[in-house]
Amino acid sequence: MRKTTKLMTGIVAALAISAGGVMAGGHLNKIGERQKAMKAVGGGIKVLVGIAKGQTAFDPDVVKKAALTIKANLNATKSLFPEGTGPDSGVKTRAKDEIWLDMEGFQTAMKTAIAAADNMAGVTEQSAFMPALGKVGAGCKACHEKYRAPKQ
């Protein structure tokens, strides 16, 4: 009985410590994770812009793939902005305080952009492509304008 109590305490303590470790480490890791996801979003946009500029031909399958990359990665970032990962976290980030001052507005901007990517994924006609791209771009811009600091 005594032994099991000790063992239990030991396990609980170990769990608590490792959980704390994951919290602290994972917490700041989230900054790197979301930057990686945003880079992938940027990669998706490049493919679409290539089509818009006429550098590559319009192909619904390529459009769909790029749009779904954008959608999936934006979705992934939703949970990657926990409290304490802003400009004062000590890790280099362009996320502005405004995100946590106005989390509702931030998540709304996220939803709008995701919906625009979703809409793009369904584009099969070339005539619908530019208007759809306008919506996606406006989605990125609306959020970066308010919630992301300049590069420098």
- Interacting residue ranges for another protein, rule: CB under 8 A: 42, 45-46, 48-49, 52-53, 94, 133-134, 136-138, 140-141, 144-145, 148-152
DSSP, res 40: H
39 interacts with ligand HEC by CB under 6 A:
yes
Q: The tokens of 128 are what?
A: 């619908």
Find out whether 69 and 43 touch, Cβ atoms under 8 Å. Answer: yes
95: helix, strand or coil: strand
Residue 52 interacts, among another protein, ligand HEC, none and using kind-specific CB cut-offs from 5 to 8 Å, with another protein
Candidates 5, 21, 74; CA nearest to 45 is: 74
Contact 80, 133 (CB under 8 A): no
Nearest to 30 by CA among 70, 79, 66: 79
Binding site partner of 2, from ligand HEC, another protein, none, Cβ cut-off 5-8 A by kind: none
In the set 63, 66, 70, 132, which binds ligand HEC (CB under 6 A)? 70
Q: Interface with ligand HEC by CB under 6 A: which residues?
A: 31, 34-35, 38-39, 41-42, 45, 70, 93-95, 106, 109-110, 113, 136, 139-140, 143-144, 147-148, 150-151
